[in-house]
């Protein structure tokens, strides 16, 4: 069994790592608790996708004040199967702050850039082949009026069938599409619908216990369960370490904007424009704005819900995403919980981001806006002169689709869980390869950084043992 490897979790970190290791000649078994779905058969961002491909059907929230609703993918391909694929490399200033905080002595920025380049070439990132959607154009119009900067974010997406901004079509470059065939071709073994319960050290490696009552003995293990479940599994397995003592989200607040005339279509998809004037504090952007997304956002307002079937094409859903707060992962029995706290300074930043988003939407021509926070009510431009709605500690409207930084990598052992090559401190043959390796305050969409770190971990291992 001297080249048998288990990779647990098949998301952005796990499936990339598994593919590189299998292609380097290791005998890799990939364990995934979710199922294998066909991207081309599931409506993106639809209710069925949320029910089937999200952890706990998308119903997950942090504990703490205010609670933050967060979501994670759970399928072969993990978050890459459900996400928008908005792609960023790790920004240099963020790398420099992590280098200081976590003590990167060997890991350098140039190496991460080279990994990012290889990931982009293999998975494929693309820019829109036509003008931005009308909803995204509203962000650009608002920026022009206010003299704020914006950018078009490339996506891990194939726009092959996309004809116009009102008919955005194509398919995600998700990992079940882009990497799974390579993994299987290289001889990798996939065990979908197989949840790993715990790990146990053995004389020559590790024993893996699954809910299918099967036990596997392997030489090395790579954990890619995501930022909540990776520390959860380590704790449940009683492996000593500082798992989950940190964990970060990008708490976001959303606003529905009504422009009073058609701006939205069933094929608008995800807006790729982001307002980057206020980075690293916050980013403003356009969410998926289908009828069901708008209905969920407006569910507390019976009158708007009634009007929605006739008027939804006048509206769009926008977000203000911050890089604030800090949490820790706790395990209670078989459950992993995220305890997340926002201080009053954090709340000031969240509200500043919300107010900038509303200012932008009015500058873009919105007739009225509806912040998705407690005491929900429509606000007209006239009322906006006098009323400043704000997110309170008792609010339940914050959400995040980004979870990271629960077991950081680095040489500062008091705060880090792995060395600079992803090897868990004081444990032979145990590695991490997912978003848990990242540091704090990332501020941009994380998948590009998760992939660069995962490639770094896999390449370092292959150089040593391949």
User: Which residues here bind ligand FAD, judged by CB under 6 A?
Assistant: 8-14, 31-34, 71-75, 78-80, 82-86, 195-196, 224-227, 229, 233, 401-402, 434-435, 445-448, 450
Closer to ligand FAD by Cβ: residue 226 or 429: 226
Given a contact cutoff of 8 angstroms between Cβ atoms, the answer to whether 234 and 331 are in contact is: no
Q: Which of residues 53 and 134 has its CB atom nearest to ligand FAD in the complex?
A: 53
CA distance 166 to 365: 19
Q: What share of the chain is helix, strand, coil (3-state, %, to 5)?
A: 30, 25, 45
**In sequence order, what are the residues at sequence separation of 6 or more whose Cβ sits closer than 8 angstroms to the Cβ of residue 199?**
206, 207, 208, 209, 221, 233, 234, 237, 239, 430
Residues 6+ apart with CB under 8 A from 101: 410, 412, 415, 439, 440
Closest-CA residue to 280 (of 93, 85, 70, 116): 93
For ligand FAD, give the closer residue by CB, 379 or 416. 416
Q: Which is nearer to ligand FAD, 389 or 439 (CB)?
A: 439
Q: Shortest approach of ligand FAD to residue 262 CB, angstroms?
A: 26
In this complex, which beta carbon is closest to ligand FAD, that of residue 283 or of residue 390?
283
What CA–CA distance (Å, rounded) separates 342 from 65?
A: 7
> Residue 199 or residue 360: which is nearer to ligand FAD going by CB?
199
Q: Of the two residues 60 and 390, which places its CB atom closer to ligand FAD in the complex?
A: 60
Distance of alpha carbon 191 from alpha carbon 30, whole angstroms: 6
Distance CA 421, CA 278 (A): 33
Listed in order, strand segments (DSSP E) in 264-414 are 273-275, 282-286, 315-322, 326-332, 335-341, 368-371, 379-380, 399-400, 403-404
CB of 125 to ligand FAD, least distance (A): 11
Closer CB to ligand FAD, 410 or 446, in the complex: 446
Minimum Å gap between C-beta 335 and ligand FAD is 12
CB of 454 to ligand FAD, least distance (A): 7
Distance CA 77, CA 165 (A): 28
**Shortest separation between residue 228's beta carbon and ligand FAD, angstroms:** 8
Question: Nearer Cβ to ligand FAD, position 78 or 188?
Answer: 78
> Which residue has the closest beta carbon to ligand FAD?
11
CB 367, min distance to ligand FAD, A: 29
Distance CA 4, CA 220 (A): 7
Q: Cβ 230 to ligand FAD, closest distance in Å? A: 8
From the CB of 48, what's the least distance to ligand FAD, in Å? Answer: 14
Residue (205 or 443) nearer to ligand FAD, CB: 443
Partners of residue 127 on adjacent β-strands: none
Taking the complex as a whole, the smallest distance from the CB of residue 154 to ligand FAD amounts, in Å, to: 11
- Say how far apart CA 370 and CA 255 lie, in whole Å: 5
At closest approach, how far in Å is the CB of 383 from ligand FAD?
32
Q: Please state, in angstroms and as integers, the Cα–Cα distance from residue 322 to each residue in 35, 138, 253, 346, 348, following that order.
A: 32, 21, 9, 9, 11
In the complex, least distance from residue 358 CB atom to ligand FAD, rounded to whole angstroms:
23
Question: Judged by CB, which is closer to ligand FAD: 156, or 350?
Answer: 156
Rounded-to-integer distance, Cα 5 and Cα 222, Å: 8
Compute how many other C-beta atoms are within 10 angstroms of the C-beta atom of residue 394.
Answer: 9
Measured on CA atoms in the order 48, 196, 464, 243, is the torsion positive or negative? positive
Q: How many residues does the chain have?
A: 466
């Amino acid at each position: 069994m001297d080249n048998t490897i288990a990779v647990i979790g098949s998301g952005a970190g796990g499936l990339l790592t598994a593919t590189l290791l299998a292609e380097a000649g290791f005998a890799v078994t990939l364990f995934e608790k979710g199922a294998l779905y066909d991207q081309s058969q599931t409506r993106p961002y639809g209710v069925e996708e949320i029910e089937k491909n999200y952890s706990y059907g998308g119903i997950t929230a942090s504990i703490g004040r205010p609670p933050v609703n967060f979501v994670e993918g759970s399928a072969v391909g993990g978050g890459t199967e459900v996400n928008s694929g908005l792609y960023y490399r790790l920004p240099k200033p963020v790398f420099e702050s992590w280098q200081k905080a976590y003590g990167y002595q060997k890991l350098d920025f140039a190496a991460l850039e080279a990994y990012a380049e290889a990931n982009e070439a293999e998975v494929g990132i693309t820019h829109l082949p036509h003008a931005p959607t009308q909803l995204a154009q509203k962000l650009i119009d608002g920026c022009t009026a206010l003299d704020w900067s914006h950018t078009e974010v490339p996506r891990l997406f194939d726009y092959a069938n996309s004809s116009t901004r009102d008919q955005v079509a194509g398919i995600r470059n998700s990992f079940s599409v882009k990497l799974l065939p390579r993994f299987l071709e290289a001889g990798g073994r996939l065990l979908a619908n197989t949840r790993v319960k715990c790990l146990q050290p053995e004389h020559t490696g590790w024993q893996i216990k699954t809910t299918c009552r099967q036990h596997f003995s392997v030489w090395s293990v790579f954990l890619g369960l995501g930022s909540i479940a990776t520390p959860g599994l380590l704790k449940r397995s009683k492996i000593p370490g500082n798992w989950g003592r940190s964990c970060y989200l990008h708490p976001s607040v959303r606003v529905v904007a009504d422009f009073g005339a058609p701006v939205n279509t069933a094929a608008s998809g995800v807006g790729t424009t982001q307002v980057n004037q206020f980075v690293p504090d916050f980013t403003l952007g356009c969410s998926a704005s289908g009828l069901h997304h708008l209905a969920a956002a407006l569910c507390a307002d019976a009158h708007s819900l009634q009007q929605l079937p006739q008027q939804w094409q006048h509206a769009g859903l926008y977000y203000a995403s911050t890089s604030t707060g800090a949490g820790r992962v706790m395990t209670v029995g078989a459950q992993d919980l995220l305890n997340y706290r926002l201080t009053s300074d954090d709340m000031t930043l969240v509200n500043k981001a919300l107010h900038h988003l509303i200012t932008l939407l009015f500058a873009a021509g919105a007739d009225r806006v509806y912040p998705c926070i407690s005491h929900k009510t429509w606000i007209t431009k006239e009322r906006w002169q006098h009323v400043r709605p704000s997110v309170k500690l008792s609010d339940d409207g914050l959400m995040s689709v980004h979870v990271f930084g629960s077991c950081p990598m680095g040489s500062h052992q008091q705060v880090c869980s792995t060395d600079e090559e992803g090897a868990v401190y004081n444990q032979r043959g145990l590695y991490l390869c997912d978003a848990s390796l990242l540091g704090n305050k990332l501020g941009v969409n994380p998948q590009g950084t998760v992939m660069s770190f995962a490639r770094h971990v896999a390449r370092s291992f292959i150089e040593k043992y391949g």
